[in-house]
Structure 1
Amino acid sequence: MSVRGLGWSRHLDLVRMPDGAWRADVREAGTPPSGLAAPGVEDPATLDRALDCDIALCPVTNTMPILRLGLLGDDPPAHETHLVMAWVEVPSLRVLRSDQVYAAREPLDPATGQGVVRYTSATRDFTADLTVDADGLVVDYPELARRL
């Protein structure tokens, strides 16, 4: 992914290797604002259990764990599932470990084609009930995004 600001830009290629290790290739140009964290992964070992990435402020990346866990299926897990994600901070493109919890809240309603999944950040004090469509794409992420 790429970010740009006045007089600077950054690009991050984040890849999960077949052995489960994460690799981050970074390119930078210009002078970023002071205080902006360095891009990339500081300690790859912290991401060892991460299967997916999660891009800050991007509801599309919630789809991966929703589908992986079968949270919209006929027999979703009856309990919360704890996951480790490779969380990409925006605009720095710093990659951090993020402990997250997902749980099915409301099954897929055939009439509306929507269901509800609870997302909780175990790293920050944050919980949201995400309304999703039958494909697991977020329709409504309170305080962040709503599909039109």
Structure 2
Amino acid sequence: MGQAWLEGSRQHRGAVMLEFILLFPFIVAILYAAGYYSVLFSWQYRMQSAVDAAAASGMYVDRSQYADVAAKVTSQANLSLAELAKSLPLAVRGKVEASESNCASQTVAAAGITVIKCEIEMSASEIQAALPAIRFGFLGQFPPAPPNGIQASAQVAF
């Protein structure tokens, strides 16, 4: 009786080991994807926060002191974005370019409203360089990076 139970136990151990061998790579891949996307979403959040603050910084300009208010507000937003880009995570900071063209103004003539729009982006190739992905042969890259990269934009009207 004891011998038969022992042999049955060995067979079950083999089945459990086979199940483990088949399921372990999928569990690790799911955990890796969760970490990958959490880092990616964190970068997106930090970029959006910087762009929001830069667009809002133009609203602190005293409009009564300048003839071309839109140019001054745009300049202030660009300066703020360049400064805020320094506080982004190191992997993002080197890939996102904060230049004079990140914030631009547009006037809606009919309403007399000026809109300041600030935006920054990180391309898919830059994401792939910063976050390593796993290659699964014919399945391709896992987890897949967003094909258009990540971007952040904010608009303020005055």
Larger RCO, structure (CA 8 Å, separation 6 or more): 2
Larger Rg: 2
Return the TM-score normalized by structure 2.
0.30
The structure where helix makes up a greater share of residues is 2
Return the TM-score normalized by structure 1.
0.31
